[in-house]
Amino acid sequence: MTDFSIDDLIKRVQDVGVLTREQVSEILAEYGTRQVTADQFIQSALRRGLLTNYQVDRLNSGETNGFFFGNYKALYLIGTGSFARVFRAVHRVTDRVAAVKVLRARHSDNENFVRHFLQEAKVVSELKHPNIVPVYGAESRGFLHYMAMEFVEGQTLRDFLKVRKKVEPITVVKIAIDICSALDYALQSQNLQHRDLKLSNVMLSSTGQAKLVDFGLSSITQSGESDGVGDPSILRNQQSIDYIALERAAGGEKMDARSDLYFLGCIMYQLLSGESPLAETKDRTRRMERTRFFNVQPLHQVDASIPAAVSFFVNKALTLNADQRYQKPIDMLKDLHGLLKRVDVEKKTDSATSLSFENYEAMQKDREERLQKLEKATVMVIDSNPKLQKGLEKLMIQLGYHAVCIDDPDKMIPYFEENDLVAQCIIFNAQSLGIRAIRAFNDFAQRRGLRDVAAILVLGEDQSEWEDSVTPQHHRVILTMPVTVKQFRSALTWLLEGFGQK
C-alpha cells in the first residue's frame, strides 16, 4: 500500500522514467471516468507488466536512483555478492533483456576496485564461447559502475542441486564438459584462469547448457600481478579463500590452471553425491585449514552406486599433489569425452555396476604403467604394397616414431583388441588399398575404443575426389600426394602433440 496520492505517484513514475506518458494514459484509460487511487494504478501497472515489485518498492521508499543503469532499466534484483549486485534489466531502446552487474556503493569511490571491475568487463567481453556468459559492455558514470551481460534463462548449479539433491552421472559429465570447454578456451585464447570455480558461478540454462560467470577474480589477480598497481593485500583478499587454502595444503604450489581443474572435480563430486568434498563453513579461519583437503573422502566410498569410471575420474581431479592432477583443461576434456561415451554405454546396457571400483582402478593403473613405458609414439602403417609400406615405415623411423606395419585393414582390429596401446596413430594408404582404405578409415572412426586414436588417410593424385566420401573428424587428417616429409611431420606432430607428456 502506498502513501502517495495518484497525482504524486504519476509525477514520480514519470520523473524517474519508469513509465512514459503513453503508458500512464493507457493505465488511466482502464478506469474511464472513475476516480483512480494510487494503489489501483500500481496494481494495474503490475498486472500489465509495466512495473515490477522492485520498482514499486523503490517508488514507495522515495528513492530516485536505482531504476536505470545507463540505457538499462532495472526490473528486479537477482543476486548479491560481496562486491556487486546483479539485476535483471531491459534495454530501453532495443528491449534486449540483460543481467546488469553493479558495483556496490561502498566500493564505488575506491579507484582499485573500480579499475578492476572495469578490467573484468573488458577481459570477459573478449571471451566468445558458448559456455561463457558474454559481457555486452560496461560503463562508469560518477559513482555508478556497471556491466551488462547475457541474461541466462535458468538457474545456478547450486539452485539446481537444491532441487535435485543428486544428479545422474551422464548429466554431470555433460555439465563438466561444458565447464572444461570454457576453461580450455579461456586459457588458450587469453591465458586466463577462472580462480573462483564453484556451484554458484555456473549457470545452467533451460536447455541444459552450462555457462561460466564471474571471471572477476581472475582479472583482478592477473591485472594486479602484471602492473603492480594497488594494494597487494586487497587483491589477495579478493581471491577465493578456497583457492588460497588449496595452494597452502598442496605445499605452496602456485595457483594455476590445475587449481581450476581441482574445483571442477569438487563440482562434479557435489553434484554426484549431494555432498561437498570439502567441509563447508563460513568461518574464514576454518576454511583455510589444510585438514579440509586431507580429509576428502574418495567418491566411490561415499556412493558405491556411482559408475567406477566416473569415481576414478573425480578422484584423480581431486588429487592434492598438483603434478598428479590433470595438468591442462584440454587433458581433462579429452578424458571427459571418453567418460561420456562409457557412461552412456553403461546406462543403455545397465552395466554400471558390472565393474567394481577396485577392478577399474587396477585396470587404469596398468594402462598408465604401460603408457609410461612407451618412449615414443607408435604409428601403424596399413599398406598392401611392400615397397610403399617399407617407404612409409622408413619415414616414420626417420621422424622419430616406432612403426608397426600390416598389409590388410581387417588385421587392424585384432591388434587393438590384444593391446589398445599398440599405436597412437594409423596411416591408411589408399594408393595401394584403393577404396578399401576409405571404408576402413570410416569404419575405424565409428568403432568403440578406437574413436580417439588419430589417423591419416593418404590419397593418390588421382584419388582426390574420394575425399568427399570421408567422415570428418577433428583428429583425422587427409593427405593427397605428392606429400613432402615436412607435411608428414607437421600432420603427425599435430595429431600426436603431447603424447607421453604429463
- Tens digit of each residue's pLDDT (9 = 90 or more) over 488-500: 888 888 887 644 3
pLDDT band at 224; cut points 50, 70, 90: very low
Q: What is the pLDDT of residue 451?
A: 64
pLDDT tens profile 93-117: 999 999 999 988 888 888 887 888 8
Question: Per-residue pLDDT for 363 more than 90?
Answer: no
Average pLDDT of the segment spanning 258-271: 96
Q: Does the pLDDT at position 54 exceed 90?
A: yes
Q: Is the pLDDT of residue 123 over 70?
A: yes
Predicted local distance difference test score (pLDDT) of residue 319: 93
pLDDT score, position 255: 77
**CA distances from residue 355 to 311, 358, 363 in whole angstroms, order as listed:** 12, 8, 10
Residue keyed to cell 561502498: 106
The whole-number pLDDT of residue 131 equals: 96
| pLDDT at residue 488 in the model | 87
Q: Which three cell numbers stand for residue 420?
A: 589398445
Greater confidence (82 vs 206) lies with: 206
Q: What percent of the chain has pLDDT over 90?
A: 45
Query: Could you tell me the pTM of the whole model?
Result: 0.70
The CATH topology of domain 68-150 is Phosphorylase Kinase; domain 1 (3.30.200)
CATH of domain 158-370: 1.10.510.10
Residue 370's pLDDT is what? 56
Alpha-carbon span 9 to 12, nearest angstrom: 5
Q: How many Å apart are CA 20 and CA 38, to the nearest integer?
A: 16
What is residue 371's predicted lDDT score, i.e. its pLDDT? 53
Residue 148 has a pLDDT of: 94
E strands within 60-134?
68-69, 72-80, 84-91, 97-103
Identify each DSSP E strand in 13-157 by its residue range.
Answer: 68-69, 72-80, 84-91, 97-103, 135-141, 144-150, 154-156
Parse the chain into domains and list their residue ranges: 6-60, 68-150, 158-370, 378-496
* CA 493 to centroid of chain Cα atoms: 27
Element (H, E) at 155: strand 154-156
For 378-496, CATH number?
3.40.50.2300
Cell, residue 476? 583425422
Q: What is the mean pLDDT of residues 389-394?
A: 90
What is the residue-averaged pLDDT of the chain? 84
pLDDT band at 286 (very low <50, low <70, confident <90, very high): confident
Is 501's pLDDT higher than 70? no
